[in-house]
A and B are shown apart, each in its own frame.
Chain A
Amino acid sequence: MSEWWDYGLADLLLFSPRVYYRLFETMNSTWWLVVASAVIAGLIASGLALRHGFRGNRVILVLLALVWAWCGYGFLWQYYQPINWAIPYLLPGFALQVVLFAIFAARPLPLRFGWRGDLSSYVGLTLVAFALIAYPFIGLIEGRDLLQAELFGSAADPTALGTLGFVLLSRGTWRWVLLPVPLIWCVISAGTLWVMDQQVAMVMLAAVWITVFCGWLDLKNGVTTKRLTEAEIRDPAA
C-alpha cells in the first residue's frame, strides 16, 4: 500500500546536527594523523594540478583515489553508516570513484591537469581552494568547534566539492565519467543539510549547477572532446 516514494525529504532525516557534527569531532580526534595526511594529499594534488606543464597527472589521480578510498571507508563506513541506513547503498559509488581514478591513472594517456585560463579553470580552482581551505572553517560561522571541522580527504562533502574542481581543471575525452559520483553526493548531501537547516546546503547545490554548466561549456568548446596526443603528454605546455 505504502511505497518508498511516499516519503518526503524531512521523513528521511534520522539524526540531529549535533550528532552529525560530532562524527567529525570523533573522527578528527581519533584518526588525526590520517586526516592530516589526507589534507596534505589534497594540497599536493592541487599544487600539481596548477603547475603549468608539470607531468604529475598520474600522481594527482592516485592521490584522489586514495582520499576517496579513505573517505569511503573511514568516514562513511566507520562513522556515518551507523546513523544513516542509506550509506551502504551509496558506498559502491565511492568504490566506483576509486576504481575510476585508478583506471585513469593507469591509462597510457591519463587525464592532463593544468590551468587553461577559461571559466572552467577559474571555477575549478575556486572549488578546490574552497574545499581545501574555506570549508573547514564554515562551522565556526555557525558556532561549531574547530575540532568538528570537515576536512578535504576525510569528510565527504569537501572531498566531493574539491573533486569537482579537480575534474574541471583537467582535460581528456572521458573526464566526464569522474563527475556523476561527486555530483550525486553533493545533491544528496545538500538535501540532508537543507532539512537540518544548514545554509551550506546552498553551496553544495551551487557547486553542482556551476560544474554541470562548465562541463557543458567545455564540451561545446571542444576542451574535453579533443584527444590528447603523445606529444601533448610529453610537452604539456604545447
Chain B
Amino acid sequence: MSDLDRRKFLKSAGAIAALGGLGVLGAGTNRPAFAQSSTKSDLPDIIQKTIPSTGETIPAVGLGSWITFNVGNDMELRDQCADVMSAFFKAGGRMIDSSPMYGSAQDVIGYGLDALGAHDKVFSTDKVWTSGDGADQIAETSDRWKVEQFDLLQVHNLLGINDNLPLLFRMKDAGQLRYVGVTTSHGRRTDDLMAVMKNERLDFVQVTYNPVDRKVEEYLLPLAYDRGIAVIVNRPFRGGSLTERLEGQPLPEFARELEVKSWAQLILKYLIAHPAVTCPIPATTKPAHAAENMAAATGPLPDDKMREQIAAVIGVLV
C-alpha cells in the first residue's frame, strides 16, 4: 500500500469512528458504522461485522480452540468444552475456529455441535495444514467436525500454499466452500502474507493482534481494509498470558464509558473497534468467560484516541 493509500485508510478509519460517535455516547466512544443489531430477538444485541467480499455479517467475537479444546477422549473435559460452546451460542456467537494442528480439538467441536444440535448456528472455520494432500486432510477435517461444508477454510501458516490455496479456490468455485483465507500467527511471515493478499482474491486473513502486538496496524490491516479482506484476530490475549498479567489490576477510569467489566472485554473492544478487524477469536475453557467475551461485542466501542489509551495503559502494566 502506498503512503497515499495508507493516509486515506487512516482518514477513513477516523471518519468511521467520528460518524459512530455522534451525540449518543460519551466522549471517546462510538458505535461504528459497520455495527448492526442482530435480527434474532432471542439473542443479545451483538455487534455484527461485515465480510467485505459478500456483505454477509457475522458477530464481532468468535471462539478459538487452540489448546483449550484439545482434551483427547476425556469425556468430562469434552462435556466442559460443549458447555463453553453452549454459552458461546447462547450469547450470540457463531464463528468457531480450529485446525488439524490442534490435536483433538476438531473432534471435540464435532462432539459439541452434535451434543448441542448446533450445526445450523455455527460459522465453521478451519484450516488446511499440510505439505501433502490437502484434499484428504479437508475430508478428514469434515468428518471430525461432522459438517458437510465449511464456511471458511484457510491455509494455515502459509504451509504448502502453492498447492493448498488453488485447492481452496477450486472448492469455492465448485460451491463446496464459501470463503477462502490464509493465516499466520505470532507476527511471523507478515511480508509473505501481504504478498498473497496483494496477488490473490482472499476473503479472509487471520493474524495475531492485541494491544501489545500491534505490528499489523502499520501495513497489514490497512492493506486488508483496502483490498476488502476480512480479518480474524488470533491470540487476542496472547494465549492467556496477557489477561493473567493484568489480573488484579484495576481497570482504567475511562473503561467505564465502554461498559466493560474485565480486561478481557477491554482488549476485545480495542480489537473490534479497529475498522479492518472482523472477528477476534479468544479461546477459553470456561463457559462464563465465553459469555463474557461475547458481551464485549455489545455497547459502545472506543474511538481512535481511546484505543491508544488502552494500548498505553496495558503496555505499562505488562
Contacts and interface: CB of A to CB of B under 8 A. Distances in A.
A19 B189 contact: no
A161 to B, nearest CB: 24
A88 interface: no
Most buried by B among A7, A14, A23, A79: A14
Contact of B71 (A1, A6, A83, A85): A83
Contacts of A15: 67, 70-72, 103
Contacts of B71: 15, 19, 83
A196 B107 CA distance: 23
A191 B172 CA distance: 40
Contacts of A222: none
A131 B102 CA distance: 31
B72 A79 contact: yes
Interface in B86-132: 100-104, 107, 131
Interface residues of A, number: 21
B68 A6 contact: no
A229 interface: no
Given A14-B66, A15-B70, A19-B74, A1 B189 contact: yes
Interface majority SS (helix, strand, loop, mixed), chain A: loop
Interface string A69-89: 000000000010011110000
Contact of B67 (A1, A8, A13, A23): A13
Interface string A10-26: 01011110110011001
**Interface residue range, chain B:** 20 to 34
Nearest to A15: B70
A14 B101 contact: yes
Contact of A1 (B74, B101, B158, B285): B158
A85 B101 contact: yes
B192 to A, nearest CB: 5
A7 B184 CA distance: 11
Contact of A83 (B70, B131, B285): B70
Contact of B103 (A11, A26, A83): A83
B54 interface: no
A185 to B, nearest CB: 19
B141 to A, nearest CB: 13
Contacts of A85: 100-101, 103
Given A1-B189, A19-B72, A82-B72, A14 B77 contact: no
Contacts of A8: 186
Interface of B: 66-68, 70-74, 77, 100-104, 107, 131, 157-159, 161-162, 185-186, 188-189, 192, 285
